[in-house]
Structure 1
């Protein structure tokens, strides 16, 4: 059972090289592919200069068409040039050890019904991340995500994602695998045959909602998605997205991708589209109204 992994680099070549120095020491990994997503700095040249003597392969996307398209370059390479049974995506700011991979390999061997497996995501301080996994999005929860006040109110009342993670892991005590709806795309492994069956990541999405779309397609083909509750990996969010985009840019990217996800995967027609369009209008109104609030918080 062979494992291959794709690492997508954008600008942060130093973080990527640090990740590679750890991954290539893991004998459980058979193939490592690094894709530079047309970084505007000297990332590709730095990676190219560092490559001799190492067992990872370097590719360049040619143009930055987003997270999905960049990772697909690596996935296609592994499917065309290797016999890897499982192909994973690992962000450069993720860290795990050989035991993590042994557990993943063993769980895949014992449970044919699972297409996607990963461990529990931890933060730098050792706490469990509320982004480890989450419920599938519905039309209502997707629309609500555009509404700052309702979304804020709901999160304060229920801490929904964190509660969902805690309750799921609590109920899974002693189990090898717990089935979950969606896992974050920063670190997961997927069966080669599942990639072939459902297709690669949706390249219409530049950033965000890749995981929700993948889960939608996986479930429609009858596969399961699982987390190994006794196995963990570390994800240091602070070294990637926040170093590239401002909060406003992130919000606008989220809004754009959310709209594409809703339109292509959730909407049933005109009324659903109208409801979503109204939520977008409220989003912009709230953004304008909240400028003084954010300014005061910054002070």
Structure 2
């Protein structure tokens, strides 16, 4: 059994080096694979130089930055084909975890041959995050989840806290900052949806695993620390643009995974436009209030382009 720790980097070499130095002697990790997602700084050359003489560390680079999903798919394929990995521990650069966490993840994965993903519980500033795991959202929850309507009727995709009272919980989706993948199962479902540049990949991979009959497990007594959004802010430093990617990817998920009708997609566009418009009013930069367009996508069910501001 071979385990590779895969770290996706974008302009964040300092965090990557710091993490690798902490985990380099972990005996349960056979290889550390750094995937530079076509950084615009000197990350790739720096990482190659720092780990040049270390046979445990491999540094590779994507041809272009097409987002989280493409970068991680690229790495997992490399880990499978060249490093002969059975499991890949996907890790953000801005996390910390002990070797005991890896052992618990492997034990949990091997406990049931049906397991496709196992993850420890995420902490930020010493506290367990609210969204430690969640259910696959309904169309209503994905469209109205950030509105008063959803709060009024109590519609949420989050599990109740009591659900995590045992040592392990079967869940639909887990955060992507640190998780262990069964490589063959990951490749069997086609990996991450490469149309999603950033955000919603966790829900989508959870959906694909569940649809194929594979399980996702959360370890409730094993933890890791995460410096929230450090990697994301390196890629997209504008809050409005971050929300834009979230809503566009939700449209993809609604259309292609939840089979939303044209009516649902029309409503979703209106709601997302409203939320983005409301968010933009808080920015001090007037240029950010100008019209934005969603990128072209598959025209099935008519997502196409739509204006964020009118």
Q: TM-score range by the shorter chain?
A: 0.7 to 0.9
Query: Is 1:167 matched up with 2:167?
Result: no
**Alpha-carbon deviation of 1:70?**
0.9
Which of the residues 197, 217, 224 maps onto 2:215? 224
Give the Cα–Cα distance (whole angstroms) in 2 for the partners of residues 273 and 229 of structure 1: 36
Give the Cα–Cα distance (whole angstroms) in 2 for the partners of residues 284 and 233 of structure 1: 32
The 1:225–1:38 alpha-carbon spacing in structure 2 relative to 1, beyond 3 Å, is same
Partners of 2:5 and 2:29 within 8 A in 1: yes
Q: Deviations over 1:125-169 (max 9, x none)?
A: x11112321121110011114x54446x56xx97967x7362222
Give the Cα–Cα distance (whole angstroms) in 1 for the partners of residues 18 and 229 of structure 2: 15
Deviates more, 1:236-245 or 1:77-86: 236-245
Partners of 1:4 and 1:84 within 8 A in 2: yes
Partners of 2:122 and 2:129 within 8 A in 1: yes
**How do 1:238-253 and structure 2 match up within 5 A?**
238-244=229-235, 245-253=237-245
**Alpha-carbon deviation of 1:73?**
1.3
Query: Is 1:206 matched up with 2:203?
Result: no
**Alpha-carbon deviation of 1:111?**
1.8
TM-score, normalised relative to structure 1: 0.87
2:226 — aligned with what?
Answer: 235
**Alpha-carbon deviation of 1:75?**
0.6
2:46 — aligned with what?
Answer: 46
Give the Cα–Cα distance (whole angstroms) in 2 for the partners of residues 273 and 76 of structure 1: 34
Q: Deviations over 1:169-212 (max 9, x none)?
A: 22x2xx3x211111011111111221232111110000001111
Which of the residues 183, 188, 192 maps onto 1:192? 183
Which runs of no fewer than 5 residues in structure 1 stay unpaired?
A: none
**Bigger fraction of residues in helix:** 1
**Alpha-carbon deviation of 1:271?**
2.1
The 1:281–1:241 alpha-carbon spacing in structure 2 relative to 1, beyond 3 Å, is closer
**Alpha-carbon deviation of 1:267?**
2.9
SS at the partner of 1:77? helix
2:256 — aligned with what?
Answer: 264
2:128 — aligned with what?
Answer: 128
TM-score, normalised relative to structure 2: 0.84
Which of the residues 212, 215, 220 maps onto 2:206? 215
SS at the partner of 1:133? coil
2:291 — aligned with what?
Answer: none
SS at the partner of 2:130? coil
The 1:33–1:292 alpha-carbon spacing in structure 2 relative to 1, beyond 3 Å, is closer
1:20 — aligned with what?
Answer: 20
Which runs of no fewer than 5 residues in structure 2 stay unpaired?
A: 287-310
**How do 1:268-283 and structure 2 match up within 5 A?**
268-283=260-275
Partners of 1:66 and 1:207 within 8 A in 2: yes
Give the Cα–Cα distance (whole angstroms) in 2 for the partners of residues 78 and 199 of structure 1: 15
Partners of 1:202 and 1:210 within 8 A in 2: yes
**Alpha-carbon deviation of 1:230?**
1.6
